[in-house]
Amino acid sequence: MKKQELRELVEKHGRRYTEVLNIKVDRNQEQEIFKWFLAAILFGAPITESSVVKTYKCFEKHKVLTPKRIVETGWDGLVKILDEGGYTRYDYKTADKLLQVMGNLIKAYDGSLNRLHSEAADSADLEKRLKDLGKGIGDVTVSIFLRELRGVWNKADPKPTSLVILATKKLGIIQSESPEEALTKLKDFWKRNAVRGKSFVNFETALLRLGKDWRRKRLH
């Protein structure tokens, strides 16, 4: 892949999801980290980016942006917000997931994701603790959430998802199927070809969007 092609890829597709949603995770403030966690859970379903953005904005509009508020809103209230945002296909399942995850976050960490991070021994333990919050938190959601926290949380170092790996193979950047090996090779590729003014997170995000596009075309 040529340097100019990489620049065009990152500039066209690499805008971070937190930027799209105007969530300031770089400040490492509890409220902003949690907002992104909520959004990452929404992004974890196989649903369009525009639908997730619209649904997150509904949570914002109703001021349901803390673990406590989500629990207080209850199942019926959450389904109503999800449906308002057009998240209808996954509304019931997501309402269940949110209540379970937020209840466990409050119980285990007083509702603090920064506390969860500080208590984690390393990146693997961090990912395990996130998944332990509820059965709906899987590899994809964890990768989405932690990707945007690279450089903010020192233990945030998620492996690329299958969609990112699909994009790297299609572009001929790497051919590895192993997430661990792919992460190492992607970091090395970016170190050698970094685009000025952009970060590794922008590169990962661009690859994810490309992977989603290719998957959607393949399914249709």
What does the alpha-carbon distance between residue 182 and residue 117 come to, in Å, rounded to a whole number?
24
Is the pLDDT at 22 greater than 80, yes or no? yes
Q: Give the least confident one: 53-62, 176-185, 188-197, 210-219.
A: 210-219
What average pLDDT does the segment 167-182 reach?
89
What average pLDDT does the segment 190-216 reach?
92
State the angle between helix axes of 179-193 and 200-219 in degrees (0 to 180), rounded to the nearest 10: 120
Q: What is the pLDDT of residue 58?
A: 98
Residue with tokens 């369009």: 48
- Residue 213's pLDDT band, with cuts at 50, 70 and 90, is confident
- Residue 136's pLDDT band, with cuts at 50, 70 and 90, is confident
What average pLDDT does the segment 176-200 reach?
93
Is the pLDDT at 219 greater than 70, yes or no? no
Model-level pTM? Answer: 0.94
Q: Are 176 and 163 in contact (CB under 8 A)?
A: no
Average pLDDT over the chain, rounded to whole? 94
- Residue 96's pLDDT band, with cuts at 50, 70 and 90, is very high
What are 24-52's pLDDT values in tens digits? 999 899 999 999 999 999 999 988 999 99
29-64 core/surface letters (b: 16 or more CB in 10 A; e: else):
eeebbbbbbbbbbbbbbebeeebbbebbebbbeeeb
For residue 71, give the amino acid letter: V
Q: Are 178 and 46 in contact (CB under 8 A)?
A: no
Is the pLDDT at 220 greater than 70, yes or no? no
Comparison of pLDDT for 203 and 218, the residue scoring more: 203
3-state helix, strand, coil in the chain (%, to 5): 70, 0, 30
What average pLDDT does the segment 52-73 reach?
98
What average pLDDT does the segment 55-60 reach?
98
Is the pLDDT at 87 greater than 80, yes or no? yes
Nearest Cα residue to 193 out of 166, 167, 173: 173
